[in-house]
């Protein structure tokens, strides 16, 4: 087989793996290894070790790390990401310390989102049966966080979840299902406890 033929076979294999990933099907570490060049490990390390006063350098690193990033972004180091390049962040974002993106596929965050310390956004899970976890077998589904969402400390958002506009996720919650707009949701598993209404304009916290 000549070089052109080998290249065509490799390309076809990669396209097949990408299609399986996009469909949320199980794939292995070895099968997905060709995506390694999209990992922004060095830039993430550099960002986490950049002094706070070097604002322009921090901004340049965020642009290099993320798939897209809006204006007036605040992300307090350290943060962690599997790729970085699969994360898309809107304007006026605030992310507190120890934010973790497990971004094997897209994580899309809207405008005006606030995320408290030690939150994990993970697009990836693993099969229950150990035989299917050979070579780190896994599946991935994208996460969407709409505009004006606030996520409390130590929350975990799992694969395939969409959090609707304006919603509040309570601290320590495990979000395994999508959350509708303008609601307060909390717990393990995370469940909607009430709607956000105009009465909340006069209160200090979601719980009063």
Active site residues: 126
- Are the C-beta atoms of residues 34 and 27 closer than 8 Å to each other? no
**CB atoms inside a 10 Å sphere around CB 184:** 19
Q: Which helix (H) or strand (E) covers residue 174, if one does?
A: strand 174-175
Compute how many other C-beta atoms are within 10 angstroms of the C-beta atom of residue 176: 16
Three-state secondary-structure class, residue 18 = helix
Q: Which two tokens stand for residue 100?
A: 């973790």
Which is nearest to 148 in space by CA: 138, 161, 160, 163?
A: 163
């Amino acid at each position: 087989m000549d070089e052109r033929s080998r290249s065509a076979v490799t390309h076809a294999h990669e396209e097949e793996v990408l299609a399986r990933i996009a469909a949320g099907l199980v794939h292995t570490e070895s099968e997905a290894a060709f995506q390694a060049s999209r990992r922004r490990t060095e830039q993430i390390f550099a960002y986490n070790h950049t002094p706070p006063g070097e604002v322009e350098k921090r901004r340049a690193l965020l642009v290099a790390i993320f798939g897209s990033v809006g204006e007036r972004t605040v992300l307090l180091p350290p943060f962690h990401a599997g790729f970085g390049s699969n994360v898309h962040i809107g304007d006026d974002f605030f992310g507190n310390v120890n934010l973790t993106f497990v971004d094997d596929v897209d994580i899309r965050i809207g405008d005006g989102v606030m995320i408290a310390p030690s939150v994990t956004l993970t697009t990836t899970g693993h099969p229950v049966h150990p035989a299917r976890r050979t070579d780190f077998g896994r599946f991935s589904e994208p996460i969407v966080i709409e505009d004006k969402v606030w996520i409390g400390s130590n929350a975990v958002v799992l694969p395939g979840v969409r959090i609707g506009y304006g919603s509040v996720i309570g601290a320590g919650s495990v979000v395994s299902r999508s959350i509708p707009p303008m609601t307060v949701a909390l717990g393990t598993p995370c469940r909607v406890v009430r709607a956000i209404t105009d009465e909340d304009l006069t209160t200090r916290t979601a719980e009063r």
